[in-house]
Amino acid sequence: MPDTLALWHAEHVNFSRLLGLLDEQLSLFHDGAAPDYALMLDIMFYMTHYSDVLHHPKEDLVFAKIKERDATMAKTVDDLHRQHARIHAAGAELVRQLDDVINGTIASRASIEAAAREYVDGLRKHMRVEESDVLPLAATLLDGHDWSVIHAKIARVQDPLFGKHPEQRYASLHAQIARDAGASR
């Protein structure tokens, strides 16, 4: 189902945009300047509450179908599935550290930077494999029935940040994305 794959790709583009914002904050952080911890936490809250909860589980269903149809993809699919767990754990750890900083806990800059780098680099690598290997294969191996079964298992939820009506929780992050989009024109 091309619409599903187009949505999957669009979500990856949005996730990459957020990783770019994290990179900007990490550069400030690395240079000894004060990053916007609240912005970083908003990004990670979105990633751990949208990407990990809705996007990755749908991918896991697609991975299982691909593995069922093409045994040569078993190792890649199994690796990607394990990466979802690692990405989730790394994201949760980064959220914990950022939340601690915002709440006044003294934290090691090196520890926060290492957690953020692990998350950003791991997710980027993961998405590259999905984009280059999995999406094209899903387009050829899965049929309309497969996509119907997958959609039936995962509820369709409006994206709380990039959807038509962003949630108030993400107002500041949404405004930052709009500013960046306006600056790049």
Which residue's entry shows tokens 């952080």? 29
pLDDT in tens, the chain (185 residues): 458 888 889 999 999 999 999 999 999 988 888 899 999 999 999 999 888 888 888 889 999 999 999 999 999 999 998 999 999 999 999 999 999 999 988 888 889 999 999 999 999 999 999 999 999 999 999 999 998 888 888 777 788 999 888 999 999 999 988 888 777 65
> What is the pTM assigned to this prediction?
0.91
CB 116 within 8 Å of CB 94? yes
Domain extent for 107: 2-183
Q: What's the domain count of the chain?
A: 1
Tell me the torsion sign for CA atoms 47, 45, 3, 184. Answer: negative
pLDDT at 55: 83
CA-CA-CA-CA torsion for 84, 18, 44, 1, nearest 10 degrees? -40
- Which domain CATH number covers 150? 1.20.120.520
pLDDT at 75: 94
If you count them, how many residues does the chain have?
185
pLDDT at 58: 86
The CA distances from residue 152 to 77, 146, 148, in Å, are 21, 10, 6
